[in-house]
Structure formats: C-alpha cells, structure tokens
Structure 1
Amino acid sequence: MTDHPLDGKSALVTGASSGIGEATAHALARDGARVALSARREKALNDIASKIESEWDAETLVVPTNIRSEDSAEEMVETTVSEFGGLDVLVNNAGTACGESVENMTTGDYDKMMETNVDGVFYATRAAVPALKEAEGNLIFVGSFAGQYPRPFNPIYAATKWWVRGFAHSMAGNVGTDGVGVTVVNPSEVRTDFGGAYGETFAERFDEGEVTEPEEVADAIAFSAKQENSTVSELDLYRRDKFAGF
C-alpha cells in the first residue's frame, strides 16, 4: 500500500470540530484524501482545516452543518459532491449525550439525542448513498461500546448507539451489492471532551495512556476507508482492562 492510499479520494466527516472527528479528518488527509469537515462550529472547522492543509498539504472543504436538520444535512452532502466532484467516504461521527436516567430525562434531552444520533445519521446516509454507490466507496459509522452491551447509565444514549449499529449492518446488506463497503467502529471511553454533560470530560477524567486516544479511533476509521474490494464490518476499540472483573 502506498504512503497515500486515498489519493484522489474525497471524504466527508461529520462532527469534525473536535475529538474523534477532528482526528479522523487529519488521518484521512494524511492518507491523501480531500476532506470535507462538517459540524456547527464554523470557526473551529476553519482552524482545523487550516492545520490540515498546512500539515498534510491536503485539500479541505468546510461545510457548517446542523446535522439535526434534514435540509442542512442534504446541503452538506450536495456541497461536498459538487466541490469535490463526487464522494468516496462518509464518516457518520456526529453524536451527543445528555441527560441520565429515564425517569429524570427531559423531553428536550431525549429529542436532542434522537435527532443527532439517529435522525442525523439517517439524513446524512440517505443523501450520500447515491454518490457512494457511484464511487463504490465506504460508509463508516462511529458506534459505541454502549451500542453492544446493556448500559444502566443513560439507556437512551445506549439505545441510539444500538440503532446506529443495527442500521450500519443492515445498510451493509442493502448497498453491499452496489459495491459500497459499510463499517461500524465501536470505541469505549475515548480521551476527548465528550462526557462533559455529566461533569468531567473523558479528557479530564483519564490520563494519557489510560484509555483510547482519538487518534487510535481515527486510524481504525482510516483503515476502513482504504478498503476497495473488501469491507471491514466491525471494529471494537476498548482499553485493555475494559473487561477486568467480568
């Protein structure tokens, strides 16, 4: 495999303004892809895009998007396809967690998670599928440990990630015959700003080396994006002592 296996390819990363999304945009650019960065925070996206262009000499596109909006998600994909002349990789990374137990969760928090983690993933995927079929590209979902095992804490968040995982595998059956690879990547704790809704973020709670780093998840996503004839169905990334005591 060459040093730039994604040369000539175009990728779109949702939730690219921080954490896993930011690291993924860097990893794909490192491997030669043109990268569209999507999130709501335009300034953060512009700053990241500038760093990517400087570090990797890669072409970038900033696409400010409210993934919870059907129209905004569709415009995100249309702009990327128009500017890049197609789309080879979609990384459905945007997600959120808020609220806690079901009995104490507000309807607003419930709606926010469902609209981001479920509706937004559907909107982006639906809009991108025609271009991915044309390119015989890769459709990648960022799932979660919470989408594989029962989670007493915040069952609604867990349910959204079970949905993502089920949707991803079902899409593999749906578009695999059209040459589209479908992957779901399931991290557990990742040392990012995620988790701040509950007090400490994971970056504050864990020291470097204690849990998965965003760059490790990004490398798993980039590995999946490089596949041309095969597909990486599912990748799990857990800290090595995750199952201690089970």
Structure 2
Amino acid sequence: MADDPLDGKTALVTGASSGIGEATAHALARDGARVALAARREKVLNEVANDLEREWDAETLVVPTNVRDEDSVEGTVETVVSEFGQLDVLVNNAGLARGESVEDMRTEQYETMMETNVDGVFYATRAAIPHLRETGGNLVFVGSFAGQYPRPFNPIYAASKWWVRGFAHSVEGNVGADGVAVTVVNPSEVRTDFGAAYGESFAERFDEGEVTEPEEVAEAIAFAAKQEKSTVSELDIYRRDKFSGF
C-alpha cells in the first residue's frame, strides 16, 4: 500500500531464517518493504518467504548466503540490487555465540565465531554502503547487551559484539555526511534458538514473558529502518527487571 512507511524500499536481512532475523523480515514486510532474505538454509528461507508473501503480500527474494564467505556476501548484495534495483536497508543480524572460557575455546571455534560475527558484518557493510549512499538508506546492526558490559561467561562472544558496536558507530561517523543512517540495536536475552548448537538455547531456558521476544527487537529495527532524515544511533532492549540485582 502507498501509505506503508517502507513502500518502494528494499531491505536485506542477514540471518533471516529464524529468531530476530525472521521477525525483522516480517516487520519490514508489514511496513511495505521488499525483503531479501539471506542465510545458509535455503529451504527454511523459502518457507519464511512464503509466509511473508501470504501474510503481507510482500515481494521477497531468497538469497542463500554464508556471511563468512566474502564472495558469497558480495554476490548477495549484487543479486539484491540487480533484482530490486536498489538497496535501502541492510540489517546486519547474522551471528552465533559460544559459551567457552578463553582457555577452553579451541582455535577453530574462535575463528568461526569471529568470521561470523565480525568478518561477516564487515563484508556486508562494505558491499552495501555504495548502494545505501545512493538511496540515503539505513544501516542497522544487531549488537548485544554483551557489547556494552563485561561478560565473564562468554568473553569471546562479548568481544565480537563490542567490535560490532565500535565498528557501527565509527561507520556512522564515516558515512553520515553522505546521508546514510546507522543504528545499533542492543538486545539482552531474547527468547530464540540462539546458542542451541552449543548448549541450551534461550527459548529453552526462558518461558514466554520472562525475557524479550524477537518481535520486540524486530520492532526496534523496523523503527530505525523507517527514519528518513535522522539517525537513531542506539537502542537498548532488555527486560524491565534486568538491573534489579545490581
């Protein structure tokens, strides 16, 4: 519909196959955007795309992507721009977490996490900036509470999110004068399958209503994506009793 706030705009969401990424795709489609879905699981992405088309009558594009692979990421951005003609919003959401201590983490585990959480964000941002500059677009990073405070039980994950936050704000200073908005959204615990591959997921650990839902984070991302003149620099999202024990 013409009065949808993102009507005529194209959004690319990484890590779009589940959790915050899937919820964000729904929020952006609801607001009128054409949504490109990037993740490794093509079958699941197709299911998400079908849901978006059915529920929101959205134009979608499934682009299987490994954010750890530079060529894969650059190819994804090129495909999106070729298919939709422009890129207005990039949501850097793909990430993974491990809970090992520094001395227990194997080198290959460390490298996988950093390649996903750091390198993948860099590749996508680098590829997207020229197109976002053309559209005066919005660049949204999914950070973390762990990127703001010490995180004794998973310091490597926390360090990767500190990097994301620092990188995002530095990019903000670099491209803001070119009309590109940059936002960091920092959730704390979100009830998703995040971390399931390495232990108990947040969806298993928390009951509904105990912590933030992915849809709440998605609303913050959509809010940032809808800004046309201003930058929403940073949004923190956490349960209301988060600091009750401090």
TM-score bin, normalised by smaller chain: over 0.9
Q: Which residue of 1 aligns with 2:187?
A: 187
TM-fit CA distance, 1:198: 4.4
Q: Which residue of 1 aligns with 2:199?
A: 199
Per-residue deviation, residues 97-143 of structure 1 (Å, max 9, x unmatched): 12510000011110011000000000000000000000000000000
Q: Which residue of 2 aligns with 1:4?
A: 4
Q: For 1:71-150, what aligned pairs fall within 5 Å after superposition? A: 71-150=71-150
Q: Which residue of 2 aligns with 1:44?
A: 44
Q: Name the CA distance, whole Å, in 2 between partners of 1:200 and 1:4.
A: 39
TM-score normalised by length of structure 2: 0.98
TM-fit CA distance, 1:80: 0.4
**Contact 2:186-2:237 within 8 A present in 1 as well:** yes
Percent of residue pairs bearing the same amino acid type: 82
Q: Which residue of 1 aligns with 2:168?
A: 168
| AA of the residue aligned to 1:38 | A
Matched length: 245
TM-fit CA distance, 1:4: 1.1
Q: Which residue of 2 aligns with 1:222?
A: 222
TM-score normalised by length of structure 1: 0.98
Q: Name the CA distance, whole Å, in 2 between partners of 1:73 and 1:98.
A: 23
| AA of the residue aligned to 1:211 | V
| AA of the residue aligned to 2:5 | P
Per-residue deviation, residues 48-94 of structure 1 (Å, max 9, x unmatched): 00000000000000000010000000001000011010100000000
TM-fit CA distance, 1:244: 1.0
**Contact 1:187-1:236 within 8 A present in 2 as well:** yes
SS at match of 1:222: helix
SS at match of 1:102: coil
Q: Which residue of 1 aligns with 2:245?
A: 245
Per-residue deviation, residues 183-206 of structure 1 (Å, max 9, x unmatched): 000000000001224422111111
Q: Note the residue ranges of structure 2 that are not aligned, 5 or more in a row.
A: none
Q: Name the CA distance, whole Å, in 1 between partners of 2:10 and 2:198.
A: 36
Q: Note the residue ranges of structure 1 that are not aligned, 5 or more in a row.
A: none
Q: Which residue of 1 aligns with 2:33?
A: 33
Q: Name the CA distance, whole Å, in 2 between partners of 1:191 and 1:160.
A: 21
| AA of the residue aligned to 1:222 | A
Residue 65 (str. 1) matches residue 65 (str. 2)? yes
| AA of the residue aligned to 1:191 | R
Q: Which residue of 2 aligns with 1:178?
A: 178
SS at match of 1:211: coil
| AA of the residue aligned to 1:140 | V
| Shift in alpha-carbon separation, 1:83–1:165, aligned structure 2, 3 A | same
SS at match of 1:35: strand
Q: Which residue of 2 aligns with 1:155?
A: 155
SS at match of 1:104: coil
**Contact 1:99-1:110 within 8 A present in 2 as well:** no
SS at match of 1:11: strand
Q: Which is worse superposed, 216-225 or 96-105? A: 96-105
SS at match of 2:103: helix
| Shift in alpha-carbon separation, 1:99–1:207, aligned structure 2, 3 A | closer
**Contact 1:99-1:197 within 8 A present in 2 as well:** no
